[in-house]
Amino acid sequence: MEKKRIYFDHAATTPVRREALEKMLPYFSEVFGNANSQHMFGRDAVKAVDEARDTVARIINAKPSEIYFTSGGTESDNWALRGTAHARRDKGRHLIVSSIEHPAMIATAKQLEKDGFDVTYLPVDETGTVSPESVRNAIRDDTVFIGVMTANNEVGTIQPVKEIAAIAKEKKITMFTDAVQAAGVLKLDVKELGVDMMSFSGHKFYGPKGVGVLYVKSGVKIDPVMTGGHQERMKRGGTTNVPAIVGMAEAFRLADEEREKNAAYVTALRDRFIAGVEARIPDVKLNGHRVNRLPANADFSFRYIEGESILFHLDLAGIAVSSGSACSSGSLEPSHVLLAMGVPEETAHGSIRFTFGTDNTAEEVDYAVDVLAETVKKLRAMSPLFKQFEGEKQYV
Amino acid sequence: MYNEKVMKVFQNPKNVGEVENYDAIGTVGNASCGDIMQITLKIDNDVITDAKFKTFGCAAAIATSSTATEMIKGKTLDDALKITNRQVVEELEGLPPQKLHCSVLAEEAIRAAIEDYRKKQGA
């Protein structure tokens, strides 16, 4: 029997779709010019980048001059936060970010604290949602930045960005949203959301890795972080990654075109999976908001057992998932997102994220539920935490 | 990250469960750190005749539990106490550096169980 290879980790990365790849290929060896060169080779490269910029701008309802290409989500997040903190330091030194931001934001905020900035980390409720009221309460006279992600990468909870952005606008504070998990999945209109900055990354929507976007509304102050050449209107140094930008724009265009169809497809898979797990396995908890969540995301805590063990059992059965447990990341702390949501540490250790894609099938979902039920049963049988609950809980 | 031996043991661990009418029990670690190991022993004339484990933890924790219980079976208590975490790791042909603490846990669980036994004997 051929070994199964089932990929349920689309929030980590996605394969580059064929159309995007084909569009990229000429820009490696044929149209190889440096987009900064003035000669014809450079001009050919610029043309491709300009087209990509137009496409990206159109989809998020921005102007092409408001789109900056970067090396990905991490760079865009770093740039938005650090670039704003430095550009607006005369106005104030207070920054607000949610406690469930991606490490690209949290680690940058921690570093800025060392540099003398004050940071407020907003709490979330048990569904992983930031309340606009908590944002309002955190604002000080010297607040210059609010960063709340569009949707969380671990538990998939969609945030009330529009409401928070309205508060930021009223207080003249720069509003940023990390849309890395949402781009290509949710309809993102920067004007409707009312944000000043937005980040996203090509490889989350079947585009290439190593390329991303920072949208910066015209007139909003930001210092460069990647200093060097004249690229991206003097705002972001570094030789323009032409093939990656072309591939990302094509993948983004197709994701936008197919958005409703794809969302319906992965939502059906996700709901089938959630229903299967909840019917077959006792003592599980779906993390995140049951309704306001990304179509592809199902994040579960399996009580009394540890996430990495689950992950490897699934891996051995040909199913690739991601774990929120400390053990797989090499740190001792479990997921900061789950802890912020009030999930007890031992439960947080037993958490697994399943993220579905258009390349998955209902058969794969059913197989995964079977394997998962078996795995959880096996691991609980060897868990010292489980014994006290034996007899009380019935296995189905 | 794990070698084949570790994955093999993790997949089919030996001595899972609790020894019936055990003479000694040792539990170490805590759930908030993500590791709890419980070892139960049957002891006859200061010789470990049976050993079983229950572990809440990662693949390395499960593999070291299995290996440690295998290593102490048939040994006298004094010899079992001489087993170090390094020997457990060697038996598994190595662990990733960030997982070495799991092998320490196995050593500690054996010690805790034997201490438990000696305390009961002394009492």
Reported as a single tens digit per residue, the pLDDT across A203-236 is 999 999 999 999 999 999 999 999 998 899 999 9
CB-CB under 8 Å, A328 with B34? no
Q: Check if the interface score ipTM surpasses 0.95.
A: no
Four-point Cα dihedral A170, A173, A179, A183, nearest 10: 50
CB-CB under 8 Å, A381 with B34? no
CA atoms within 13 A on the CB side of A112: 26
The partner residue sitting opposite B55, judged by closest CB among A326, A384, A387, is A384
Number of helices followed by number of strands (H, E) in chain A: 16, 13
By the CB < 8 Å criterion, does A316 face chain B?
yes
**pLDDT on residue A394:** 46
DSSP sequence for A49-68 = HHHHHHHHHHHTT--GGGEE
Specify whether the CB–CB gap between A306 and A346 falls below 8 A. Answer: no
What sign results for the dihedral spanned by CA atoms A376, A378, A380, A382?
negative
CB-CB under 8 Å, B61 with A384? no
What is the residue extent of each domain of chain A? 18-257, 259-386
Q: What is the pTM of this model?
A: 0.94
CB-CB under 8 Å, B53 with A349? no
pLDDT at A6 over 60: yes
Question: Residue A388: which pLDDT band, with cuts at 50, 70 and 90?
Answer: low
Q: Which CATH architecture has domain A18-257?
A: 3-Layer(aba) Sandwich (3.40)
Residue that has been written with the tokens 């469960």 in this structure: B17
Contacts of A305 in chain B (CB under 8 A): 56
Q: Please state the φ and ψ torsions of residue A388, each to the nearest 5 degrees.
A: -70, -15
Catalytic residue among B7, B11, B33, B96: B33
pLDDT at B96 over 70: yes
> CB within 8 A of A341, min separation 6: which ones?
A100, A124, A125, A126, A127, A128, A155, A287
Q: What percent of chain A has pLDDT over 70?
A: 95
Contacts of A385 in chain B (CB under 8 A): 31, 36, 56
**pLDDT on residue A395:** 47
| Distance in Å, alpha carbon of B34 to nearest chain A alpha carbon | 6
Nearest to A351 by CA among A289, A282, A295, A303: A303
CB-CB under 8 Å, B98 with A309? no
**pLDDT on residue A77:** 98
Catalytic residue among A138, A186, A327, A373: A327
Task: Give the tens place of pLDDT for each residue, B20-56.
Answer: 999 999 999 987 778 899 999 999 999 999 999 999 9
Tell me which long-range contacts A259-262 makes (C-beta under 8 A, separation of at least 24): A259/A184, A259/A185, A259/A187, A262/A185, A262/A295, A262/A358
Nearest to A266 by CA among A258, A257, A276: A258
Mean pLDDT of chain A: 95
Residue B102 falls in the annotated catalytic set: yes
| Inter-chain CB pairs, A–B, below 8 Å | 70
Q: Which two tokens stand for residue B99?
A: 């997982």
SS3 at position A98: strand
Q: Please state the φ and ψ torsions of residue A357, each to the nearest 5 degrees.
A: -140, 175
Distance of alpha carbon A163 from alpha carbon B99, whole angstroms: 44
Domains of chain B, first to last: 4-122 (3.90.1010.10)
Same-fold call for A18-257 versus A259-386:
no
> CB within 8 A of A214, min separation 6: which ones?
A68, A70, A75, A76, A79, A80, A197, A198, A199, A236
The mean pLDDT value for A342-369 works out to 96
Q: Which CATH architecture has domain A259-386?
A: Alpha-Beta Complex (3.90)
pLDDT at A327 over 70: no
